[in-house]
Structure formats: structure tokens, C-alpha cells
Amino acid sequence: MSPASAAEPAPLIWTLPPAPPKQRSLGRAEIVTAAIGLADEDGPAAVTMKAVAGRLGPYSPMALYRYVHSKDGLVDLMLDAVTAEIPLPAQPGPGWRADLQGIAAQTRLMTKRHPWYPALFHTRPPAGPHMMRRLEFMLAVLVAQGTSAAEAMTYAALIDRYIFGSGLQEAEEARMSQRHGLDDDGGLAAAMATVHGLAAASGRYPILAGWLAQPAGPSAHEQFDLGLGFLLDGIATRLCR
């Protein structure tokens, strides 16, 4: 199939017929795996039909469209494939907070393995089977506490914005640190000392300068848990009403 016209949005891949049978070493699963590997290594911008075809072997980019239909179709398949890595209980447990904390923690782990995911999550509708299964579980947890479906969707969306917003920030900070040589203790300490010198010299930022002299605080993981706790506390006050 040829690529969709730029003037018309490609139909969702989930509404199209199943992929044709694998031929030699080329099939839908192989294409998606290759694309995920490229994104893991070099970010989402590295995923082009040409690059994916080159990773798979002597194939032309056009050969891939037969299996994924469009670039959007490939992104949908990638998002759904890695969402499948998030383990879900068979049904909600007795504690709604524990259920949502578990989903958030496992989703965060997945985004650490695939830092491109937060950047692409909001670019496509969550219509894949694994994405819908994850969302359905979150909705079931909340509806069991007496919320309406609309309220549950709002709370689930807030939680996901927090998870993926945090993931996107951490991924960007990691890339920035690598670019500027801050991804080792020596480079980071030198940069902090420089900023401390600027803050102290001006005399206008005494609290910041004091902290920079002896920086301390929770880890990124601990900050994530703290922020998630605040969000769940807010939801809890709504449930009590």
C-alpha cells in the first residue's frame, strides 16, 4: 500500500484489515521491533521508514507500508507494543490508591526503558488494545469508588499527564546533561559550583546560594512518588464528597 496522502489523515490502523503474512524475515512484528529499537537508541526523530527498512535488511521503505500502512500506523503499533509491557492485575484490588500507585510505578518503569514514549503518547489516540486495557483498568478502579465514568476519565487523564510529563522532563534533562557533560559526578559538581558562585556573588539569592553550597534533596524517583501522592490525595478528597 502506498503512503497516505498528506491532505487526508490516515485511518487508524486498528480499523484496517490485519497485516498480511510474514514474508521471509519481514512482517509487522519485525517492523515494530526495529522501530522501537531505533527510538530507544536515538529518540523518536530517528524513526523513519527508510531507517527502519535499513535496520531490517535489504528492503525499500515502500515494503513496510504493506504491513503498517502509514508512519502514524507504525507509531500506533509502537506505542501499543510497549504499553503491553505494563503488568495489570486481573481485577482491581481492595485498595484503590495501591492499584493506581502500582500502575503509575510500572508505567514509569516502562518510560525509563523507552524514553521516547512520553513524547509520542499524546500525538496519537489511545485506541490500541493494550492502551485501552490499561485505561480500562484505571477507570474500573475509580468507578468502584463511586465516581462517574466522566470523573474517572478526568482523574485517569490527570494521573497520566503527571506520569508522562515527568517522563518527558526527565528524558529531556538526561539529554541536556549528556550534551553538556553533566552526566557524571565531576561534571555536575563543577556546574553546580559555577552556578553557586553566580548566585552568591550577586547577593540577591541567599536561600538559593545556601542550598547550592550543600545541595541535597530527594532523588527523581522519590520526587515522582511525592508528586503522585499529592495528586492521589486530591483525588481522595473528591471521593470523600
96-240 fold: Tetracycline Repressor; domain 2 (1.10.357)
Q: How far apart are CA 230 and CA 222, in angstroms?
A: 13
Residue 183 confidence (pLDDT): 67
13-83 shares its CATH topology with 96-240: no
Q: Do 78 and 48 touch, CB atoms closer than 8 A?
A: no
More confident residue, 188 or 134: 134
Mean pLDDT over 15-39 rounds to: 94
Q: What percent of the chain has pLDDT over 70?
A: 94
The CATH number of 13-83, from 2.20.25.160, 2.60.120.310, 3.40.50.720, 1.10.10.60, is 1.10.10.60
Q: What is the mean pLDDT of the chain?
A: 90
Residue 164 confidence (pLDDT): 96
- The string of pLDDT tens digits covering residues 195-222 is 888 888 888 889 888 888 888 888 889 9
DSSP string, 132-179: HHHHHHHHHHHHTTT--HHHHHHHHHHHHHHHHHHHHHHHHHHHHHHH
Range with the largest mean pLDDT of 17-31, 172-186, 199-213, 225-239: 225-239
Mean pLDDT over 99-103 rounds to: 97
Please report, for the chain, the start and end positions of each structural domain, with discontinuous segments joined by +.
13-83, 96-240
Give the three-state DSSP class for 26: strand
Q: What percent of the chain has pLDDT over 90?
A: 69
| Residue 55 confidence (pLDDT) above 90 | yes
Q: Do 64 and 23 touch, CB atoms closer than 8 A?
A: no
Residue 7 confidence (pLDDT): 55
- The string of pLDDT tens digits covering residues 119-140 is 999 999 999 999 999 999 999 9
Q: Do 126 and 81 touch, CB atoms closer than 8 A?
A: no
Q: How far apart are CA 76 and CA 10, in angstroms?
A: 12
